[in-house]
Structures are given as structure tokens and as C-alpha cells.
């Protein structure tokens, strides 16, 4: 099967998630290089130190589930995505517990915004629900599992 046919089989939700993950990963490496230092310091308090770590590994999981012929269980990449997003939510929740008005560090890299939960909890939770609840994604992984057996 050609790569184009395999790519066409991916549900739109998974394509959008992969595109989002690629864009976030690309920007997380590019923006520190092109933004002024002060502007980058201001964004860190909203996104955290490494805003794309989870999404980098999710890209690998998405593409490994589609472009590998000999994957024994195709449900593993889907659960890998779920696990990575869950870990992101867990660490984002821990980080939010550190938000305290009395802890106002002078170092801009240590400041945590009260809005950081949007990036570290809500967005991963949205994608987690999409991956878990989408009937198209469930059907896609079920079909891939049946083909490999």
C-alpha cells in the first residue's frame, strides 16, 4: 500500500492532532531563536519550559501507527498518545499547585502564570478526549489491529 493511501485512511481528527503537534513542536524550537529574550521570557510563564515535549513524542506515536507494517498491536500507539497526554495533564496540575501570589520570583523563567493551566491542562485534556472518544479514531485503530492479525 502506498504512503498516500495510508495517509488517506487516517481519520481527520488524527490528522488535525498530528498537524497541531507538528506546528507546536516546530514553533517551540523556532520561537526561542527568533523572539527577543524579554518576549520569550514572557511566554514561558504561560507555556512552561518545554511546551512541545509531549507533542513531539505524540507525533512519533501517530506516524508509527500508520506507517509501520509489522506493528504487533496497533492499539499501543493510541494508548501511548493517551498516556503522554495524561502525563502532561498530571504535571500541569502539579505546576498549577505552585501558583501562589506570594511566590513572585524575580527570575522570569521561574514565574508561573495563573493561566498556564490552559496550555498545560486544558489543551492536552481536549486532545485526550478527542483521541479517546472519537468514533473515527476507534474505528481506524480497530481496522488496523484486524489487518495485522
| pLDDT 10s digits, 89-116 | 998 888 777 666 555 567 766 777 777 8
Q: Is the pLDDT of residue 71 over 60?
A: no
Q: What is the pTM of this model?
A: 0.83
In a domain, 4, yes or no: no
Q: Which three cell numbers stand for residue 125?
A: 485534556
d(CA 36, CA 73): 46
In this structure, is residue 20 part of a structural domain? yes
Asked whether 63 and 131 are in contact (CB, 8 A), the reply is no
At residue 148 the predicted structure's pLDDT band, cuts being 50, 70 and 90, is low
Instruction: Count the domains in the chain.
Output: 1
Is a pLDDT exceeding 60 seen at residue 66?
A: yes
The reply to whether 3 falls in a domain is no
Amino acid at each position: 500500500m502506498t504512503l498516500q493511501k495510508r495517509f488517506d485512511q487516517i481519520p481527520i481528527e488524527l490528522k488535525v492532532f498530528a498537524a497541531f503537534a507538528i506546528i507546536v513542536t516546530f514553533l517551540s524550537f523556532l520561537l526561542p531563536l527568533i523572539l527577543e529574550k524579554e518576549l520569550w521570557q514572557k511566554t514561558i510563564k504561560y507555556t512552561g519550559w518545554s511546551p512541545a515535549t509531549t507533542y513531539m513524542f505524540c507525533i512519533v506515536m501517530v506516524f508509527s501507527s500508520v506507517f509501520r507494517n509489522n506493528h504487533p498491536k496497533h492499539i499501543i500507539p493510541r494508548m501511548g498518545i493517551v498516556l503522554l497526554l495524561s502525563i502532561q495533564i498530571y504535571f500541569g496540575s502539579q505546576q498549577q499547585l505552585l501558583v501562589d501570589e506570594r511566590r513572585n520570583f524575580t527570575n522570569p523563567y521561574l514565574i508561573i502564570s495563573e493561566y498556564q493551566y490552559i496550555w498545560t491542562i486544558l489543551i492536552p485534556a481536549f486532545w485526550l478526549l478527542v483521541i479517546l472518544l472519537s468514533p473515527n479514531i476507534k474505528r481506524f485503530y480497530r481496522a488496523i489491529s484486524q489487518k495485522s492479525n
